[in-house]
Amino acid sequence: MISYIVKRLLQALLVLLGVMTLVFFLLHLSGDPTQLLLPLDATAAERAAFRARMGFNDPLPLQYIRFAFDVISGNLGFSYRHSAPAVKLVLERLPATFQLTGSALIAATCLAVPIGVIAAVKRGTAVDSISMALALLGQAMPVYWLGLMLILLFSVTLQMLPSGGRGGWETLILPAATLAVFSMARIARLTRSGMLDVLSQDYIRTARAAGIPTRTVVFKFGLRNAAIPLITVIGLEFGVLLGGAVITETIFSWPGVGRLAVDSIFARDYPVVQAVVLVLASIFVLINITVDVLYTYMDPRIREGGGFK
């Protein structure tokens, strides 16, 4: 187990190195931020001095090496726009993003798992068809379109819920629902698939033949075994929601990391964008490692080589 964890950590470092490299060079291809950061009436001499002070005149490889050493030392840069450490700005927004993604994941799981189980038990019936059709629809709907439709319905037409901002629990409903729909559809389909595989096993048929109640067979024997890969997917889905929250937070003016990233991209605030990507990538990699270790622990058939023995 120790060697497996060490191997996964080394792979995670390579992934983060690749992310850091791509983000640095791609962002710097978007243009010179001097035009946005200085007043319109700034003179050419002031612009030249600013570029020299910020290091924009240095070759990109040299800027990258300097950036890499700063990241290794824990310094993710200083925001041009906010005049504050970039990592501090990101960490201040993380609680809001975790609140949104956590609520969305809990709602998606609590609704999707029962739907998937019922669809598997009622395989081939109208209940199964309707459930999977709704799941397919949920995966097909763009997040930005769904968010706008929910605002139009519940905020503009019915005036039941606020259209944006972060405050009481009522401000969380629409963005969490928007973010949860796509994950709910995916989890429901995977739950149904896993349950169908488990319910076709010999021990399930034996349990039914022995007269054990259907509820016990489905939930104690069926869902318990189907939950092993499902837990893995749910864990990874949290990382997916962190990335998907960028659009949702922008639509609903939710003060999270995603909205900070969008605002920083438009302002060409490179350090903040790099800090956002690196922090979210680190969280996603950490979630992957945790899920892999948990999966290995829960299923004793899996060994370090990734196979079954």
Q: Write the CA distances from 287 to 15, 238, 245, 257, 302, integer angstroms.
A: 13, 8, 16, 17, 19
The number of distinct structural domains making up the chain is 1
pLDDT band at 14, cuts 50/70/90?
confident
What one-character-per-residue DSSP string does 48-71 give?
HHHHHHHTTTS-HHHHHHHHHHHH
Residue at 252: amino acid letter: F
C-alpha angle 72-10-24 in degrees, rounded to nearest 5: 45
What's the token pair of residue 281? 């990538």
Residue 274 lies in a domain: no
With respect to residue 216, please indicate whether it lies within any of the assigned structural domains: yes
Q: Does residue 91 register a pLDDT over 70?
A: yes
User: Can you give the residue range of the structural domain that contains 103?
Assistant: 94-260+279-298
Which has the higher per-residue pLDDT, 58 or 299? 58
Single-letter amino acid, residue 150: L
Assigned domain for 42 exists: no
Of 140, 90, 139, 137, nearest to 242 by C-alpha is 90
Q: Is 146 helix (H, G, I), strand (E, B) or coil?
A: helix
Question: For residue 89, what are its two tokens?
Answer: 């700005």
What pLDDT, on a 0 to 100 scale, did the predictor assign at position 308?
A: 41
Summarised one tens digit per residue, pLDDT across range 249-303 is 888 888 888 888 888 888 777 788 888 888 888 888 888 888 777 777 666 555 5
Question: Which pair of tokens denotes residue 240?
Answer: 């997916």
Tell me, yes or no, whether 228 lies in a domain: yes
Q: How far is CA 262 from CA 85, 161, 174, in A?
A: 17, 25, 20
High-pLDDT (> 70) share of the chain, %: 91
DSSP per residue over 3-21, as a string? Answer: HHHHHHHHHHHHHHHHHHH
Assigned domain for 8 exists: no
| DSSP code per residue over 91-137 | HHHHHHHHHHHHHHHHHHHHHHHHHHHHHHHTTTSHHHHHHHHHHHH
**Looking at the predicted structure, is the pLDDT value of residue 162 above 80?**
yes
Return the bridge partners of 302, or none. 308
Residues forming a β-bridge with 78: 85
Q: What is the dihedral of CA 111, 258, 75, 39, to 10 degrees?
A: -170
Q: pLDDT value at position 301? A: 56
Can you spell out the DSSP letters for 226-284?
HHHHHHHHHHHHHHHHHHHHHHHHHHTT--SHHHHHHHHHHTT-HHHHHHHHHHHHHHH
Residue 34 to residue 21: CA distance in whole angstroms: 22
CATH number at residue 211: 1.10.3720.10
What average pLDDT does the segment 139-166 reach? 87
Please check whether residue 68 lies inside any domain of the structure: no
Per-residue pLDDT tens digits for 184-198: 888 888 888 888 888
Q: Are 76 and 275 in contact (CB under 8 A)?
A: yes
Question: DSSP code of 38?
Answer: S
Indicate whether 125 belongs to any domain. Answer: yes
Separation CA 201–CA 2 (nearest Å): 33
Asked if residue 272 is part of any domain, the answer here is no
- pLDDT tens sequence across 203-251: 778 877 878 887 787 877 777 777 777 877 887 788 778 777 888 888 8
